[in-house]
């Protein structure tokens, strides 16, 4: 039966595109008397590509907008961390580790994301001690994301199967006392006793470096067990981009032993002199506690026991930290009223 509304199927290579005949041409080309499966498949693929590129274009615009927002927030956070008030800095430390703010001058994921029991940590920073990094020790498998493609959600993580020596690094600002900068002289003796107990014990190697605030070390001290062994790696094991290839990979040293290496702030905070001036530009001590074997250990609890023995107590209450934090975030345009 003839089609009164459609002209004969045109030659694909010589057809002149006319809007009035486009529908008829598509119908004749793709759905003629004998439908061609491959022609229909090409049409589906073409439609999919068009939809995909439209989605990719929209996604890229969305990512650029999100990146601009994150860069603006990061710049505001950088200004916040340059505060000259200790309650504000300690409030920022607590908010960062508890997941209430998203940025700090150092990578605190070992405490923020992988350390479930933060009660001893909370006692530390409220007593004016700032944790930097902690590792529980033992054997395990975890992934480390070090590569992303074009700011997209696609990640190519590196899988690690290793054994680690537990270690804990923290800062004691004004190790010689807080009387010069705050109104809490009653805590000075406890801070000094805390360092004394750490260095006088025989259970774990403890390394302490003293700094005068001008990026110049004033000295270094080790515990009675001396510093950690340099020939005993902090972490060794296998790594691979593919998790199921880990059993076939050869073990190697992933983090060497630190030995006599002086612990310092710049190992953890890039350009600490400008990123965290209240801490780095004043006298402070950097303390590293290490385990001697690869068994899982809670060094935070051990350090907490030393702090309790020394009489270390909270300097700032939660209400004061919350008030100071809200004030500084409001001043930098980051406070939304939903942090607490």
Give the span between the Cα atoms of 95 and 93, in whole angstroms: 6
Handedness of CA 163, 166, 171, 176 (dihedral sign): negative
Q: Which residues of 287-306 are buried (b: 16+ CB within 10 A; e: fewer)?
A: bbbbbeebeebbbbebbbeb
Tell whether the model's pLDDT for residue 329 goes beyond 80: yes
Q: Virtual CA dihedral for 91, 97, 98, 100, nearest 10 degrees? A: 70
Handedness of CA 244, 247, 252, 253 (dihedral sign): positive
Q: Is 211 exposed, middle or buried (0-12, 13-18, 19+ CB in 10 A)?
A: buried
Give the span between the Cα atoms of 286 and 264, in whole angstroms: 6
Give the span between the Cα atoms of 47 and 26, in whole angstroms: 14
**For residue 64, what pLDDT band results from cuts at 50, 70 and 90?**
confident
Give the span between the Cα atoms of 314 and 128, in whole angstroms: 8
Q: Virtual CA dihedral for 18, 19, 20, 24, nearest 10 degrees? A: 90
Q: Hey, which of 102-116, 211-225, 323-337 has the most confident mean pLDDT?
A: 102-116
How many residues make up the chain in this entry? 340
CA 146 from centroid of its chain's CA atoms: 11
Tokens of residue 317, six digits: 């209450």
Q: What is the pLDDT of residues 236-294, one digit of tens each?
A: 999 988 888 898 999 899 888 887 778 888 888 888 888 888 888 888 889 999 998 89
More confident call, 11 vs 288: 288
Report the predicted TM-score, pTM, of the whole model to 2 decimal places: 0.75
Give the DSSP H/E element, type plus range, for residue 172.
Answer: strand 167-173
Strand partners, 210: 219, 285
Kindly list the strands in the beta sheet with 235-240, ordered across the sheet, starting from the edge strand earlier in the chain. Answer: 138-144, 158-164, 235-240, 252-255
Average pLDDT, the chain: 80
Q: What is the pLDDT of residues 131-180, one digit of tens each?
A: 999 988 889 888 876 655 545 555 677 888 989 999 999 999 887 665 45
Answer for the pair 281, 273: CB distance below 8 angstroms, yes or no: yes
């Amino acid at each position: 039966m003839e089609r009164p509304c459609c002209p004969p199927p045109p030659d694909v290579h010589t057809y002149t595109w006319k809007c009035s005949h486009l529908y008829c041409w598509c119908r004749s080309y793709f759905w003629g008397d004998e439908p061609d499966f491959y022609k229909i498949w090409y049409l589906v693929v073409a439609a999919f590509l068009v939809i995909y590129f439209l989605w990719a274009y929209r996604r890229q615009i969305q990512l650029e907008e999100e990146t601009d927002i994150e860069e603006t927030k990061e710049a505001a956070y950088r200004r916040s961390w340059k505060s000259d008030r200790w309650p504000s800095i300690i409030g920022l430390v607590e908010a960062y580790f508890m997941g209430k703010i998203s940025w700090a001058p150092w990578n605190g994921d070992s405490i923020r994301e992988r350390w479930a029991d933060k009660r001893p940590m909370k006692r530390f920073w409220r007593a004016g001690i700032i944790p930097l990094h902690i590792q529980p020790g033992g054997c395990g498998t975890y992934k480390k994301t070090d590569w992303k493609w074009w700011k997209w959600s696609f990640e190519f993580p590196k899988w690690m199967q290793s054994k680690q020596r537990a270690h804990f690094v923290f800062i004691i600002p004004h190790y010689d006392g807080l009387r010069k900068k705050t109104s809490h002289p009653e805590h000075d003796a406890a801070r000094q006793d805390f360092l004394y107990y750490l260095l006088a014990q025989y259970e774990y190697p403890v390394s302490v470096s003293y700094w005068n605030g001008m990026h110049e070390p004033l000295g270094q001290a080790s515990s009675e067990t001396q510093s950690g062994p340099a020939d005993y790696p902090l972490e060794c094991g296998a790594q691979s981009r593919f998790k199921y290839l880990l059993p076939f990979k050869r073990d190697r040293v992933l983090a060497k032993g630190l030995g006599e290496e002086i612990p310092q702030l710049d190992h953890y905070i890039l350009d600490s002199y400008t990123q965290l001036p209240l801490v780095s530009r004043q006298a402070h001590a950097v303390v590293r506690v290490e385990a001697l074997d690869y068994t899982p250990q809670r060094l935070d609890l051990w350090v907490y026991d030393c702090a309790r023995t020394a009489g270390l107590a909270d300097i700032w209450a939660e209400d004061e930290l919350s008030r100071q934090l809200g004030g500084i975030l409001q001043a930098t345009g980051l406070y939304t009223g939903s942090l607490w």
